[in-house]
Structure 1
Amino acid sequence: MATNTTTVTSSAPRLRRTLTLWDLILYGVIVIQPVAPMSSFGALSDRGHGHVVTAILIAMVAMLFTGISYGRMARAYPSAGSAFTYVAQEFHPGVGYVTGWSMVMDYMLNPLICTVWCAQQAHEFAAALPVWGWKIVFAAVFTWLNLRGIKTSARVNTGMAAVMSAVIVVVFIAAIRYIFGHPHNDPIFFTRPFYDPQTFTYGNLFGCTSIAVLTYIGFDGISTLSEEAENPRRNILLATVLTCVVIGILSAAEVYVAQLVWPASQPFSNPDTAYVFAAARTWAPLFGIVGFTLLVANFGSGFGSQIGAARLLYGMGRSNALPKSFFGAVDAKSRVPRNNVLFVGAIALLGSFFISYGRGIELLNFGALIAFMGVNAAAFMRYFVREPEKKISNFLPPILGFLICLALWWSLSRDAWIVGGTWMLLGIAFGAWKTKGFRSGAINFELPPEEEA
């Protein structure tokens, strides 16, 4: 039986519970970013032959059920916010290891895809430097900033979210003026972004939805704030669900107007920056405004995710899961895992020359969906299987969340399956060897606390 290992004594110092429900929702929206679907709009439209709005709404349903599971598991383990911990505690450390290894894939791929996108957009602004040159620039800048130990403050992140929200309002106004200022004769013009009978197939829709999950990546971070939230048993779950709803509706609206302005029947010159060109069609200055906003958003995401990946590798090195002399080392001056920052930066740079933005999203979601399925399974085990009273409210959300995530995972491309499957098989083989068949204690995938100077 799973046990709660996070109990603390009454004399131990605790974090102040100051975060209200609205604070938690704002945190979730900032982490996910209100412009989340704009960068991937072209990849989504190409994969689904349109139907981006429908795909994002289906993904929202999957994330709602998964969010309920995350919120419930945060009650059981208030000091942890990791899918690895939930699955390892409820099933077996070996099963938790599989979930944790999928998380490593996510952490490593995020700075890579941000490098790819930033390079593509920067090339649109300054074509004199080729895309490969911009990839080198961004990978180097991400690495340099993290080696210096530079961080963005909560105030900066909140300010960026406010600016992004203002840009979204301008995009909506310009798009509405454009749409109603250009007459059309298509009787299903306003519903075609939801369903286009000429291009619709279930394969296209679910393939698109499997990529659309990226729109919600990061919502699970709310569960890490359990110790700082007022009434965490209620607010963590409610905030997670409401964040998914807010982001889902906002994202659906963003891609809906984009598909009306730039129908799926019209090819993109560059799918990676498709939303920027769609916005510019409504009002030319939006090319620079939206392009720069998304560049800043992806820059911040890439910069932050690189140190996250470096810290995860540091935790694995410190526990001897990876060679400690390299991965478990911390720079004495900056208190940053220098070797890991350089390692992740090198992977991001090299990978950016071989993996497209769209393919990178699929690979990232390959790992994310495994983690989501694990959390749903853990919630089902703890709150339905082990509970003496069998409630339908403890049965349906995790089961539906698991099945929808499984269907989306199954709908990923063949290439994503080959690369992701190879990664998982190599990781499982490594873990089995390192832990002597998962008998000597599993590898820890928890992010370690930041080192103090």
Structure 2
Amino acid sequence: MSETTPKLARVLKLPHLVLFGLAYLVPTTILTVYGVATAMSNGHLPTAVLVAMVAMLFTAYSYGRLSRVYTSTGSAYVYAQRSLGPRTGFMVGWTMMLDYLFLPLINYITIGLYLNAQFPAVPDWVWIVGFLVVITALNVRGIALVAKANTVIVGAQVAFLLLFFAMSARHLVGMTDIHPLAPFVGSGLELLPVLSAAAILTESFLGFDAVTTLSEEAENPRRDVPRAIILVTLCGGLIFLAASWFGHMVFPDHTRFTDVDSAALDIMRAVGGDVLAALLTTALIIGSFGSALSSQASVSRVLYAMGRDGSLPRGVFGRLSKRYNTPAANILLVGGVAVGAIFLDIETVASFISFGALVAFAAVNLSVIIHFVVRERMRTGADLLKYGLVPGIGLSLTVYLWTNLSGLAFVIGGVWAAVGLVQLAYVTRGFRQEPPRMTFDDRLLEERTASEV
């Protein structure tokens, strides 16, 4: 029976993983928050981007270290479960659902808002439902199809950004008062505003985390997943840095934005008129489509990981479609949750995501220290640098950002964590036994699953 048991197919190479991560983080996402983040940083957005990128590289490093040890799907849930203990792992996995489960909603909300603005006669909910059906169907069909779609989606966004960079460079040619370092060291630079802006920008780097959810579908996970994690973080950060730098150089006075929520349109009009502004809208729609496609794929696999080991009902969450070898039931469930995009706003959904993502980041950094330094007793000078200091810095940065979230984020996150604690009590029979652990051996997993059919 084990021969007929469906399992995730190892079909993804390094380029697929990188494209998946980039599609998840959305290369053009920096333009959606450009005005807000620029205002928060007092006109020093490139500096805030640089700070956020450095902070995320520390956490990406920790993800890469653990992805070499644990090649199963499940991301921070798996790392915390195996390093910090099954109960802590369960709560980390549950909390990170706020990140994964609700990230598609932001993309659908963005699609509805921009297309409704372009075509006022069509309600935003019509666009949301239409895109939701298409994206859910693509995910059910399989990860290989998603990977092919990501190639087109990321390519379109990069093409737009290259056009923007080229037109900006042409706009700047001949200007005599160009000061390339002005965004980094110019007047008005203050540490706290820059750090506040960097805090909200860390959400733009979530693509590197998403890569780890595809470990069981990578051809060579121990080699390619760590590489993809760092490449996604670096590529995303450099794209954000270039876009914010050109934006500042073209439109240096952030006090003249027509509307901080759509400040990128002012920049596009300054560089290329209404045509480039229209192309921006198109690029943002494409980017939101790609991010929703990738994030829906990621969360369905995290739910599959938790269902497969019994932390969630195995009969619902821990099964794959025999036709497509994908967690189809989970994909449909995530699609059902995404219907909430019709009723919720971006600020509310962002509160869910911030809480869950930073808890996961902190847990992964701590897991590196516990696994390598405490359990494996790797305590030479070089080991303490690699497995103690570097992840320790990442842990400190993520905890700092987490403590600066809004009160609403803590209320929502606290309620969600309380529900998770009730589920943990259920699966552990009132905390009298440990929750199930992840099975990493494919053969044992197939035998266990087949015995339950």
Shorter chain as denominator, the TM-score bin is 0.7 to 0.9
Structure 1 residues 444 and 119, CA gap change in structure 2 (3 angstroms): farther
Matched, 1:95 2:85: no
**Aligned partner (choices 155, 160, 164) of residue 153 of structure 2:** 160
Contact 1:97 1:443 in 2 (8 A): no
Contact 1:373 1:406 in 2 (8 A): yes
Structure 1 residues 243 and 314, CA gap change in structure 2 (3 angstroms): closer
In structure 2, what residue type is equivalent to 1:127? P
* Structure-to-structure mapping, 1:15-30, within 5 angstroms: 19=13, 25=18, 28-30=21-23
Structure 1 residues 299 and 55, CA gap change in structure 2 (3 angstroms): same
Counterpart of 2:360 in structure 1 is: 371
In structure 1, what residue type is equivalent to 2:281? G
Which stretch shows the higher mean deviation, 323-332 or 29-38? 323-332
Contact 1:101 1:424 in 2 (8 A): yes
**Aligned partner (choices 12, 32, 41) of residue 39 of structure 1:** 32
Question: Aligned partners of 1:318, 1:227: CA distance in 2, in Å?
Answer: 16
- Return the structure number with greater helix share: 2
Q: State the TM-score, normalizing by the size of structure 2.
A: 0.79
In structure 2, what residue type is equivalent to 1:41? Y
SS in 1 for 2:103: helix
1:392-442 C-alpha deviation (Å, 9 max, x unpaired): 222211101111111111222232222223322332243234423444333
Matched, 1:265 2:255: yes
Contact 2:25 2:204 in 1 (8 A): yes
Deviation at 1:295, TM superposition (A): 0.2
* Structure-to-structure mapping, 1:281-300, within 5 angstroms: 281-284=270-273, 285-300=275-290
In structure 2, what residue type is equivalent to 1:172? F
Counterpart of 1:72 in structure 2 is: 65
Question: Aligned partners of 1:270, 1:219: CA distance in 2, in Å?
Answer: 28
Matched, 1:241 2:234: no
Contact 1:280 1:287 in 2 (8 A): yes
SS in 1 for 2:120: coil
Deviation at 1:196, TM superposition (A): 6.4
Contact 2:81 2:89 in 1 (8 A): yes
Contact 2:208 2:233 in 1 (8 A): yes
Contact 1:58 1:209 in 2 (8 A): yes
Question: Aligned partners of 2:259, 2:439: CA distance in 1, in Å?
Answer: 42
Counterpart of 1:108 in structure 2 is: 101
In structure 2, what residue type is equivalent to 1:274? A
Contact 2:79 2:89 in 1 (8 A): yes
Question: Aligned partners of 1:446, 1:421: CA distance in 2, in Å?
Answer: 29
1:286-323 C-alpha deviation (Å, 9 max, x unpaired): 11212112101202322443354455556656766556
In structure 2, what residue type is equivalent to 1:298? S
In structure 2, what residue type is equivalent to 1:138? I
Structure 1 residues 339 and 210, CA gap change in structure 2 (3 angstroms): same
Counterpart of 1:7 in structure 2 is: none
Identity across matched positions, percent:
26
Question: Aligned partners of 2:272, 2:39: CA distance in 1, in Å?
Answer: 24
Aligned residues: 427
* Structure-to-structure mapping, 1:27-426, within 5 angstroms: 28-80=21-73, 82-129=75-122, 133-143=123-133, 145-147=135-137, 149-150=140-141, 152-180=145-173, 191=181, 193-194=183-184, 197-198=187-188, 200=190, 202=192, 204-223=193-212, 224-225=214-215, 228=218, 232=222, 236-262=225-251, 263-269=253-259, 271=261, 273-284=262-273, 285-306=275-296, 308-310=298-300, 312-313=302-303, 343-356=333-346, 358-386=347-375, 387-391=377-381, 392-426=385-419
In structure 2, what residue type is equivalent to 1:122? L
Contact 1:59 1:213 in 2 (8 A): yes
Contact 1:214 1:361 in 2 (8 A): no
Contact 2:21 2:208 in 1 (8 A): yes
Question: Aligned partners of 1:19, 1:337: CA distance in 2, in Å?
Answer: 21
Contact 2:30 2:204 in 1 (8 A): yes
Which stretch shows the higher mean deviation, 364-373 or 425-434? 425-434
The RMSD of aligned alpha carbons is: 3.9
Which stretch shows the higher mean deviation, 254-263 or 189-198? 189-198
Contact 2:368 2:391 in 1 (8 A): yes
Counterpart of 2:3 in structure 1 is: none
Structure 1 residues 197 and 390, CA gap change in structure 2 (3 angstroms): same
Q: State the TM-score, normalizing by the size of structure 1.
A: 0.79
Structure 1 residues 313 and 376, CA gap change in structure 2 (3 angstroms): closer
Question: Aligned partners of 2:281, 2:194: CA distance in 1, in Å?
Answer: 27
Structure 1 residues 206 and 443, CA gap change in structure 2 (3 angstroms): farther
Question: Structure 2: 5+ residue runs without aligned partners?
Answer: 1-6
Contact 1:119 1:135 in 2 (8 A): yes
Deviation at 1:95, TM superposition (A): 0.9
Deviation at 1:53, TM superposition (A): 1.8
In structure 1, what residue type is equivalent to 2:250? V
Deviation at 1:34, TM superposition (A): 2.9
In structure 2, what residue type is equivalent to 1:162? G
Structure 1 residues 337 and 156, CA gap change in structure 2 (3 angstroms): closer
Contact 2:183 2:248 in 1 (8 A): yes
1:320-378 C-alpha deviation (Å, 9 max, x unpaired): 6556787679889888777755654453333553332x453343122111111111111
